[in-house]
Amino acid sequence: MSPIAAWVAFALSALVSLGVSALLVARLERIASHLGFREATLGLVAALAADGPEITAAVTGLTRGQHAIGVGVVLGSNAFNLAALLGLGALSAGRIRLHRDVMVFAGSVATVVALLSVGAASGALVPGAALGLSAFVFVPYVVVSSVAPDTLTRWPLPSRFTTRLARAVSDEEQELAAVIDPKEAGPLDVVGATLALGTVIGSSILMEHAASAIGEHYGIAEIVTGGVLLAAVTSLPNAVSAIYLAHRGRGSAVLSTALNSNALNVVVGLLLPAMFVGLGSYGGSGVLVAAWYAGLTVVALALAYAGRGLGRVSGALVVCGYLGLVVTLAAR
C-alpha cells in the first residue's frame, strides 16, 4: 500500500468506524433498555460499544503478530482516555465534581485492572491469570451495577459498606439517566446493531492495516503507531462525549465512562485475545505504556479523591502526564 493510499484508507476507515460506532451505541442502548437493564449497566453496554474501534484494532494487531500495536492501542488509548475525558473535561468545564463513594467503587476496580495489565504486559502474569484476576474484580462490579440500590442495602454484608455501595450506584445511575434516554427498541434496532457491528469491525481492521503501513513507511515504531496514533484517534468519540457531560455537571458519568471504557479495553481488547495468540515480545516500550497508564490512573484518582473532583489545575496535571508519555515514546 502506497503512503497516499494508506493515509486515505486510514482517514476514511477512521471516519466510518467512529461514526458507525455512535450508531451502534444508540442501538445497543435501546436493546439493553428493552431487556430491562438498569442505567449503570446501560453505561457499561454503551462503553463496550464505543470501545469497538480500539478493541478491533488491538485484536487485529495481536492476531497479525504485531503485538506492540495491539498492546499500544489498548493501553495507549486508556492513557488518552484519562487525559481527554478527565483532564480535558476538567479544563473545559472548570471543575468536575465527584462523590468519594463513586470514586472508591469505580476507581478500585479500574486500579486493579490497570495493575494487572502491567503484569500481563511485563510477562509477570500469563494472560490467563491476568484475565482470571480481572474477572474476579470486574464481574462483581458488573453484578452490583445491575442491582437496584435499595436491594443492595439488604445484602448480608456490613450495613456501612452496603449503604455506601448503594449510594455510589444510585449517584451514578441518576447522572447516567439524564444522558442515556433510549427510545423503545424494535426489530430494526437488532438489524441495525448487527450491521453497525460488522461495519465497525471491518473498518477498524482496515484502519489498523493502514496505520501499520503508515508506520512502516515512515519508520515509526509499532508501539508509537498503536499507542499514540491509533489510540488517540479511536478514543476521540469518548473524549467529545465526556467534555459534553462535564459541561452538564455529570461528574460521576464522566468518571464511569472513562474507567469502564479502560477496564473493558483491557479485559476484552487485550487479555481475552491474548489467551489465544499471546502477547509476544515487544520490548520495554510496551511495559512502559502499561506502567504509565496504571500510574496515571492512580494519580488521576488520587487527585480527584483529595479534591472531591478535578479542577483546572489537577486536570492540567493529568493532561501533562499523558503528554509526558507521548514525548517519552517519541524519544525512544
**pLDDT for position 294:** 96
| The pLDDT value given to residue 183 | 67
Q: What is the pLDDT of residue 110?
A: 94
pLDDT at 295: 96
pLDDT at 218: 87
pLDDT confidence of residue 14: 87
3-state secondary structure the chain: CCHHHHHHHHHHHHHHHHHHHHHHHHHHHHHHHHCCCCHHHHHHHHHHHHCHHHHHHHHHHHHCCCHHHHHHHHHHHHHHHHHHHHHHHHHHHCEEECCHHHHHHHHHHHHHHHHHHHHHHHCCCCHHHHHHHHHHHHHHHHHHHCCCHHHHCCCCCCHHHHHHHHHHHHHHHHHHHCCCCCCCCCHHHHHHHHHHHHHHHHHHHHHHHHHHHHHHHHCCCHHHHHHHHHHHHHHHHHHHHHHHHHHCCCHHHHHHHHHHHHHHHHHHHHHHHHHHHCCCCCCHHHHHHHHHHHHHHHHHHHHHHHCCEEEHHHHHHHHHHHHHHHHHHHHC
Indicate the class that CATH gives domain 3-331.
Answer: mainly alpha
Q: Is residue 276 within 8 Å of residue 241, measured between CB atoms? A: no
* Digitized pLDDT (tens) for each residue of the chain, 332 residues in all: 788 999 999 999 988 988 888 787 778 777 877 777 776 677 777 777 777 788 888 888 888 877 778 888 888 889 999 998 899 889 988 888 888 888 888 899 999 999 999 998 888 888 889 999 999 999 999 888 888 888 888 888 788 888 888 888 887 777 666 556 566 767 787 888 889 888 988 988 898 889 889 988 888 888 888 888 888 888 877 777 777 677 777 777 788 888 988 999 899 888 888 888 766 555 577 889 999 999 999 999 999 999 989 999 999 999 999 999 999 988 87
This prediction's pTM: 0.86
